[in-house]
């Protein structure tokens, strides 16, 4: 009986919390000068995220790898930031290194993420926390010595929070809500060789402006026709659509290998 009541109470509290989110005052104040005293890399390369609520419930989860696509056919695009370091002499700039992968082609890259705007919401989910976002310019250059390389350019929006200890962290307060996302990037990839450009977007848990690729309501779910464009492994991992695909028995070591290492 007690367990059942606790379950009902949790549902009610969750509903109230979600209701506050979608009715949240979106009024913001400028935070551009202040954010240079914090390190946004804690959001950009967070290994884990902390889910919290107003009832002091906390749970840590491993952050999922970035989801991305390239081109009009929504070919799966992998990107992993190995290192993001705040420039001590220009604290709105972050020097980045990582790798991209399209099909079987893996390329290393270097570049800069520059904060152009930072805002704090007037009200948030937890009264003692500040929630905000940073919008950034991104320019990444793949290694020209490698085949099929180019540069990536676009805009990134990262959501952060500052907790009651003054620590800037990844904002995962609404992680359990439908459509949760963070670190949303919209841009393009341009070939060094041909100067041809393709759409290239990515994000945490969702991809912005991805057309009919994502058919999920609660979470990212790939439309079946795009399975052949590099998304089959993702669909198998999530047993979608509707368990219609039988997952083959494969090499566990290969499955668990980190492609960027």
> Can you tell me the distance from the alpha carbon of 48 to that of 50, in angstroms, rounded to the nearest whole number?
7
Q: What is the pLDDT of residue 8?
A: 36
Q: Write out the H or E segment, with its range, that includes residue 253.
A: helix 252-256
Q: Does 16 fall in a domain? A: no
Q: Does 3 fall in a domain? A: no
Token pair of 7 as six digits: 């379950």
Q: Does 210 fall in a domain? A: yes
Q: Does 11 fall in a domain? A: no
- Give per-residue pLDDT as tens, 31-58: 999 999 999 999 999 999 999 876 667 8
DSSP states of 122-165 as a string?
SS-SSTTSEEEEEEEEEEEEE-TTSSS-EEEEEEEEEEEEE-TT
Is 155 in contact with 114 (CB distance < 8 Å)?
A: no
Q: Does 7 fall in a domain? A: no
Q: Burial, 52: exposed, middle or buried (Cβ in 10 Å; 0-12, 13-18, 19+)? A: buried
Q: Does 144 fall in a domain? A: yes
Domain residues for 36? 25-256
Q: Does 200 fall in a domain? A: yes
pLDDT mean values, one per 10 residues, the chain (261 residues):
36 38 71 98 96 80 97 98 98 98 97 98 92 98 96 98 96 93 98 98 98 95 97 85 50 65 94
Q: What is the pLDDT of residue 189?
A: 98
Q: Does 1 fall in a domain? A: no
Q: Write out the H or E segment, with its range, that includes residue 32.
A: helix 32-35
Q: What is the number of structural domains in the chain?
A: 1
């Amino acid at each position: 009986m007690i367990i059942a009541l606790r379950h009902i109470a949790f549902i009610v509290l969750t509903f109230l919390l979600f209701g506050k989110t979608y009715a949240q005052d979106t009024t913001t104040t400028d935070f551009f000068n202040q954010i240079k005293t914090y390190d946004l890399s804690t959001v950009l390369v967070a290994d884990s995220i902390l889910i919290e609520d107003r009832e002091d419930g906390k749970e840590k989860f491993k952050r999922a790898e970035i989801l991305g696509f390239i081109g009009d056919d929504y070919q799966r695009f992998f990107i992993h930031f190995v290192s993001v370091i705040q420039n001590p002499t220009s604290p709105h700039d972050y020097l980045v290194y990582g790798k991209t992968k399209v099909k079987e082609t893996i390329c290393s890259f270097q570049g800069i993420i520059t904060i152009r705007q930072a805002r704090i919401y007037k009200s948030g989910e937890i009264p003692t926390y500040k929630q905000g976002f940073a919008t950034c310019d991104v320019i990444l250059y793949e290694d020209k010595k490698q085949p099929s390389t180019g540069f990536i350019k676009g805009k990134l929006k990262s959501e952060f929070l500052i907790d009651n200890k003054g620590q800037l962290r990844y904002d995962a307060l609404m992680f359990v809500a439908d459509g949760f996302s963070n670190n949303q990037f919209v841009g393009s990839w341009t070939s060094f060789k041909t100067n041809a450009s393709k759409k290239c977007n990515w994000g945490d848990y969702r991809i912005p402006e991805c057309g009919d690729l994502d058919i999920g309501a609660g979470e990212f779910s790939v439309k079946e026709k795009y399975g052949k464009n590099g998304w089959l492994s993702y669909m198998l991992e999530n047993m979608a659509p509707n368990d219609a695909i039988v997952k083959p028995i494969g090499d566990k070591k290969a499955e668990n290998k980190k492609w960027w290492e």
